[in-house]
Structure 1
Amino acid sequence: MFNPSRDQVRQFFIDTWRKHRATELLTPLESMALDWILEHPEYHGDLEREDAMTVEYAVEGGRTNPFLHLSMHLAIAEQLSIDQPPGIRAAYQLMAPKLGAHEAAHQIMECLGQVVWESQRLGKPLDTEGYVELIRQRAGRF
């Protein structure tokens, strides 16, 4: 299983953005990441910062960590592409026509954040069935 460090994740997004701006060839994963970077112009400056590798995005600062946010987009895109956990794609497809692909992904991101937090707090494995159920519940609201 691929488990990159914080520095590796940051370097990946920084390099992807730099390569895009320099019109260099991107790998397939970088191309997928670039799609999400382009959807978030508010993060472009973060990716260009001299101190991008070390800047902290504390919750108390009221600012979303762009690297975490982009990483979650990539994780969700992968989950949707292979329908893992089972049912995530169908739940997404209920939301996407109503909200748009990007907002539907953000709704899933909220659910993912909740189940990861609960898993960490309780010291238990991620509840994938609960995760998909949360997404279904959100999809039913729209």
Structure 2
Amino acid sequence: MFNPSRDQARRFFIDAWQKYRARGVLTPLEQIAADLVKEHPEYHTVIEDPEAADKDFSPEDGQINPFLHLSLHLAIHEQLSIDQPPGLRGAYDDCLAVRGDRHAALHDVLESLGETIWEAQRSGAPLDAAAYVERVKRRARVA
């Protein structure tokens, strides 16, 4: 299983974006990463900063970690492509139908994944896939 370090994950996004901007040849995964960065113009200045890979982003200071956000998007892209956990794709489709906007629906999934990860970390338990899918479904109902 691929388990990159924090620095490797950050370098991946930075390098993919640089290759994209230079009109280089990207691997399929790099293309997905570049597309994700493209969809988040608010992160361009950070991704284009050569020292960004070393920066700490503190939630206590009200900062969003753009690399974590993009990494969650990448994970969700893979999850949706294989409907894993089962039912996630249908729950996402429900969010998409309600929101009418692909990126907003993806953020519903991202928020649900973040909550599920936080809950697992807090309780010291493994990720609860069923609770994750249910959170996405709930967002579709209240959106």
Q: Given the two structures, how large is their TM-score scaled by the length of structure 1?
A: 0.97
CA RMSD of aligned residues (A): 0.9
Q: Which runs of 4+ in 1 moved over 2 A?
A: none
User: Are the aligned partners of 2:17 and 2:37 in contact in 1 as well (CA < 8 Å)?
Assistant: yes
Match of 1:26 in 2: 26
**In the TM superposition, what is the alpha-carbon distance from 1:98 to its structure 2 partner?**
2.9
**Could you say which residue in structure 1 is the equivalent of 2:115?**
114
> What is the distance in 1 between the residues matched to 2:73 and 2:42?
15
Aligned residue pairs total: 142
Cα distance between partner residues in 1 of 2:23 and 2:98: 34
The whole-number CA distance in structure 2 between the counterparts of 1:50 and 1:12 is 13
1:129 aligned partner: 130
Q: Which structure 2 residues correspond to residues 87-106 of structure 1 after superposition, within 5 A? A: 87-99=87-99, 100-106=101-107
Letter in 1 for 2:43: Y
Q: Secondary structure at the match of 1:57?
A: coil
The equivalent residue for 1:59 is 59
Q: In structure 2, how many angstroms separate the alpha carbons of the residues matched to 1:57 and 1:102?
A: 23
Letter in 1 for 2:58: A
Letter in 2 for 1:46: V
2:42 corresponds to: 42
Percent identity at matched positions?
A: 54
The residue number in structure 2 matching 1:16 is 16
Which deviations, in whole Å up to 9, do the C-alpha atoms of 1:59-94 show, x marking residues without a partner? 122121110000000101111000000000001001
Unaligned runs of 5+ in 1: none
Structure 2: distance between partners of 1:129 and 1:94: 16
Uncovered stretches (5+) of structure 2, i.e. residues with no partner = none
